[in-house]
Structure 1
Amino acid sequence: MTVRSRLALGLAALAVASPHPVLANLLQERSQRFHPVESSAGIVAAQEAQAAAVGAQILREGGNAVDAAVATSFALAVTLPQAGNLGGGGFLVLWLPKRGPMATCAAAARGPELPEAIQLGRGEAVALNFREKAPLKAGPDLFLNPDGTVNRRLALRSLLSTGVPGTVAGLTQVQQRYGCLPLATVMQPAIRLAEQGFAVGPELSASLEAAAPILKADPSSAAQFFKVGGAPYRPGELLKQPLLAASLRCIAQQGARCFYRGPLAQALVALMQDQGGLISREDLERYRAPWMRPLRGELQGHPVLTMPPPSGGGATLLQLLNVLEPLQLQTTGLNSAATIHRMVEAMNLAYRDRNRLLGDPDQVAMPLDRLLSSRYADQQRQRIRLDRHRPAAELEAEPLPLHGGTNTTHLSVVDRDGGMVSTTTTLNTAYGNGISVPGAGFLLNNEMDDFTAKPGAPNAYGLRQGSQNAIAPERRPLSSMTPTLVFHRDGRPLLATGSPGGSRIITTVLQVLLNRLVHGLNLASAVAETRIHSQLWPDQISAEQGLSPDTWRLLEQRGHELKLRPAMGSANSAEVRYGGDHQGLPVGSWGVADPRRLDAAAVAERP
């Protein structure tokens, strides 16, 4: 066991021994090396600092967590073009209290209670699915060459790779129902950033330079993201996007109609017709973002709410929690070889199920109840050999156990009433397919690659998926996005988290939750801790720098192959703070911007 693991166990023992549990927990969390940003009111944690500041500004102006999340998301479309977007899609999970200064601000506009909502504690939770859809003209052979192989260029870098975007529909819909402020007010900061420009940060500067071959292949993208003559923007230089500002202003004035029936729809359809894309006016007019009932699980008695399919992330996360909690990982220690081995074996089993069994619930049947049952978790746990790795080929050869990004961005918001929003949006890979809509200033997604182009053939993230996720008209591709909310045992809101990272999103969220609730780390330490990942194929553990040579060697002795990988994910997270008066009312919040991303920030609302 590492020194860090022994320290965490010792502090946990001290907390248990203390006659003052609130004081003991505070002692344990404040004695760690990393600390979250603290606020006496709300907080926004996002992948880019200027966008996070927009969300905090909206909180100061009287907005709630939904207003701040929507404002931040639209700002990310300006300041984080590699992932923030108008031309992509995503998922959102929210919990809002039914009492408090902002609880009834939009009640009149909401209408009848949503049947998909969950009543938890003093509030309600609901999920929103604004994932992209396959165009009506799409079919299962869309990306296949004549010899049956997958054409990776078509799947990633052509207009055929673009699904019908959902971001604008989702953000405007959730803001209209649950926000406190007018849409125009919420969007104004993003419009200003696009029109007046913003200082490019080091991460965006490096990202644009790396993506130059993709972006410069499209005249509209080249004009938007590079200076006259093609030079990249350096850190500190001002990037203005007047075409994007005009598009944002149209959405602020007309809502989703601008994008799906108005000027932006016309521009998008014209591009598709001119250059061989599939999206039609009918595709845009038919697009809807449905409300959904969150999936519910538990960890250490804490209710966990997460996204249902077509997110493969939520179901896979809950499967992992069900399998791992009885293994008492707190006794084997944080990131010890024994703990990592158990996690990896559980990950491989869960990803096997994800790839074979999950898909769009509107079009395919899935055995979700059985997958998330305690009985099935017991069966999966029995498949884990505690002393030896089970090879992927061995697991893949078994019959089905049941019958029946990396460019994405995540943000978490907590407001002063304890309202929480966790939302993840994406273009799929960085800058999507690199193609911008002429005259409109926004990039298009390449989410069609998240479908199964050919059963067993890996996608951009190495996932080998099955026919449940085949391309079909109006089907939504399976996703790993996993926006997640966690609550105290009595139903009070606790934390919001999630991450970008393609197939690594699920395991990133898993480790944040385990670090926080099982290993006793504070939120900042939970986010900063070294991460590992395994997804059945390729049959190896991806590991960030930070595991000891001894741990590495012990895992190899169990039959694992390890590969050192770059930093994984960006788990920007927020947590509700409570006082010691036991009245159950929030007294502030904590926020953490994942240190893996240079431009990420947690920005506090200052009352």
Structure 2
Amino acid sequence: MGRVRGIWWLAALTISTGNPGALAAADGIYSRQAVVSQESHASEAGVEALRHGGNAVDAAIATAFALAVTLPEAGNLGGGGFIVAFLADRHEVVTVDFREKAPLSSSPTMYLDASGNLLPQHRLGARAAGVPGTVRGLALAHAKWAKLPWAELVRPAARLAREGFSISAELAGALNSQLAPRKAESGPGRGAYGRLADIPSSVAVFSRPDGRPWQEGDRLIQPDLGATLERIAEHGPDDFYRGKTAELIVAYMEANRGEIRAQDLAAYEAKIRPPVHTTFRGRDVYGMGPPSSGGIVLCQMLNILERFDLKADGRDSVRTVHRVTEAQRRAFFARATRLADPDFVDVPAAELTSKPTAEALARTIGDRATPSASLAPFPILPAEPEHTTHLSTIDAAGNAVALTYTLEDSYGAKAVVAGAGFLLNNEMGDFNLIPDRTDASGRIGTEPNRIAPGRRMLSSMTPTLVLDGGKVRAVTGSPGGRTIPNTTLWVVLNLLEFGMSPRAAVDAGRTHHQWFPDVVLFERDKWPRATLDGLATLGHARLGIRAIGTANTIVVGEKSAIHGVPDLRRTTSAARGD
């Protein structure tokens, strides 16, 4: 591979933390190095690491730690995620898995009552949390590929927490919504899996000191989080997993019926895993392998669609959208039945991403919608939110990092570890929680992704690199739960199949199908009426929604110009660079 002049981006699912005026400024062109994240203070921390002699890995680590302070609904110390990186000097793509794990006391039915119904503890409070992986994952990447001292990358975040930062109107609104008093008829845990208001330690951290609603421009100071970050800066990741911070986590768990114990934290490890790879129209596409499903799902869809001349039919044609939907349906069936933590399940990644497998699947796509239930060799029963963020960095030497991490729902389990200042994830809800119950609503009960002690839950995160002739052409991805691979698919198709400009590729309408529920989601006001009517004629159930994903993307254009393209579906991203 040749030298890369690269690209990178970041996105988030629900609440924005930028401001509308930042969008135009974020849409920049850089020649040397850049950081793009969902929050400006975090992007500044990353680009400062580059200006002090760090590389793209240093910048990603500094940005991720800063996001744990300035983007509390998704940036995190108490969650987990994945890194996909290109190492220019080695011409190699590497990946890091720091997905959360189930505690050692876990069991497949731990969130079910005596009647087999789900309990709210799978989403709200200490018991919803898997063993966090973020700090170990960033530390592993630092040990392998970074240049600057660890403390130099963590302390900017500690300072932001200790001294505070001016919050945006969007963050003020999000915190007010999470903390507002409940109406008498609604109880804790009701609605969207509870709120910060349900957890006293979270109220203490995120309430405005005078008890009044937050306003744009107010300063959010988080002294406990600042102290935690300072300990991590001074003592390294072991503080989080074996030191004072670990003690605070365990004490909180014991006081609040959580499952994580000292042995869970001490045993946690991040892993370097092989990337997933395929080709599409002569370009190389790299992604994250299991326990993320995103890379395999994306590669399988691209392999299937490569068998059709989508460009000849046209992007908005009924036949193109029908074939994309059928590819999505088949890839998500494989996700539900074949993918899980590779340390526990034999995942046939090579088979699922092979061209012959795609050829066989493509031959099963006819001229009408395939009923999703017909793909399953088991009965489908009648039917009874995620919050993620992604950052991207590129340095002058051509090293690049795509890092996606999450707390799962917005503000995770809504539970701040008392005395430590950070929110816990609620990733245990990403397991298949009701064994053997797969239903038409999208609930999956297949065996590979059931809860087991020490197992990592399946993810949909899809940090993606596209290389052309050994040089990075695009990096993209999105938040949005199971919609993430399909958001990424549309961006890649728009660039590589339909030859759209970077801005048009991101702005164009998206669709989503995930096997079950058996319905095509489409973005309202972004598709011709004739296309939607044609899909109905072919037997596709349809549902219009406001937006699918937030694919803040960077594309490397002519003369190695780095085009940062914020997704205007959210007023979030902030690019910084030189």
Task: Normalising by structure 1, report the TM-score.
Answer: 0.85
Matched with 1:162 is 129
2:509 pairs with 1:530:
yes
User: Residues 456, 498 of structure 1: CA spacing in aligned structure 2 closer, same or farther, 3 A cutoff?
Assistant: farther
1:37 aligns with 2:28: yes
Tell me which residue corresponds to 2:42: 51
Equivalent position SS for 1:53 = helix
- 1:278-326 Cα offsets, whole Å, 9 max, x none, are 1110000000001111111111111111111001111111100110112
C-alpha deviation, 1:465, in angstroms? 4.3
SS of the aligned residue for 1:552 comes to helix
Indicate which of 275, 279, 283 corresponds to 2:264: 283
The match for 2:403 among 416, 423, 435 is 423
For each residue in 1:113-146, what CA deviation from the matched residue of structure 2 results, as whole angstroms up to 9, or x when unmatched?
xxxxxxxxx5222110000000000010111110
RMSD: 2.1
Q: Is the 8 A contact 1:410 1:570 kept in 2?
A: no
Shift, 1:367, TM fit: 2.2
Tell me the equivalent position of 1:15.
none
Report how far residue 396 of structure 1 moved.
2.9
User: In structure 2, what is the equivalent of residue 203 of structure 1?
Assistant: 170
1:268 aligns with 2:259: no
Partner amino acid, structure 2, of 1:500? P
Cross-structure match for 1:3: none
Query: How is 1:113-512 mapped onto 2 (pairs within 5 angstroms)?
Result: 123-151=91-119, 153-212=120-179, 214-228=195-209, 230-385=211-366, 387-397=367-377, 406-455=386-435, 457=437, 462-488=442-468, 490-512=469-491
The 8 Å contact of residues 130 and 167 in structure 1, kept in 2 or not, is answered as: yes
What CA distance in whole angstroms lies between the structure 1 residues aligned with 2:42 and 2:215?
Answer: 19
Code of the residue aligned with 1:183 in structure 2: it is W
Closer, same or farther: CA 398–389 of 1 in aligned 2, 3 Å: farther
Amino acid in structure 2 at the alignment position of 1:415: D
Following TM superposition, by how much is the alpha carbon of 1:234 offset from its aligned partner in structure 2, in angstroms? 2.1
Point out where structure 1 has 5 or more consecutive residues left out of the alignment: 1-32, 99-121, 580-586
The Cα offsets for residues 451-506 of structure 1, whole Å up to 9 and x where unpaired, read as 011136579x9452411101000000011011111111x21222222211100111
Alignment match, 1:24: none
Residue matched to 2:492: 513
Partner of 2:570: 597
Q: Which amino acid aligns with 1:598?
A: T
Q: Structure 2: which 5+ residue stretches go unaligned?
A: 1-23, 180-193
Report the identity percentage: 42
Corresponding letter in the other structure for 1:131: R
1:82 paired to 2:73: yes
Q: In the alignment, residue 314 of structure 2 is paired with which amino acid?
A: G
Contact 1:297/1:305 (CA < 8 Å) preserved in 2?
Answer: yes
Distance 1:189 1:559 in 2: 54
Matched residues in 2 for 1:161 and 1:225: separation? 20
Instruction: Note the alpha carbon deviations across 1:408-446, whole angstroms, 9 max, x for none.
Output: 111122222221111110111111110000011100000
Pick closer, same or farther for the CA change 1:416–1:590 going to 2, 3 Å: farther
1:93 aligns with 2:84: yes
Tell me how far 1:368 sits from its aligned partner. 2.0
| Range with greater deviation from structure 2 (566-575 or 430-439) | 566-575
Where 1:326 maps in the other structure, the secondary structure is coil
Q: SS of the counterpart of 1:298? A: strand
SS at match of 2:228: helix
TM-score, normalisation: structure 2: 0.89
Q: Which amino acid aligns with 2:335?
A: R
1:92–1:422 contact (8 Å) kept in structure 2: yes
Tell me the distance in 1 between the aligned counterparts of 2:338 and 2:442.
Answer: 17
Aligned to 1:73: 64
How many residues are aligned here? Answer: 535
Q: CA deviation at 1:331?
A: 1.4
The residue type paired with residue 411 of structure 2 is Y
Q: Secondary structure at the match of 2:306?
A: helix
Deviation of the 1:346 alpha carbon: 0.8
| DSSP-derived class of the 1:216 partner | helix
Distance 1:399 1:220, change over 3 A: closer
| Cα distance between partner residues in 1 of 2:402 and 2:264 | 28
Cα displacement (A) at 1:239: 1.1
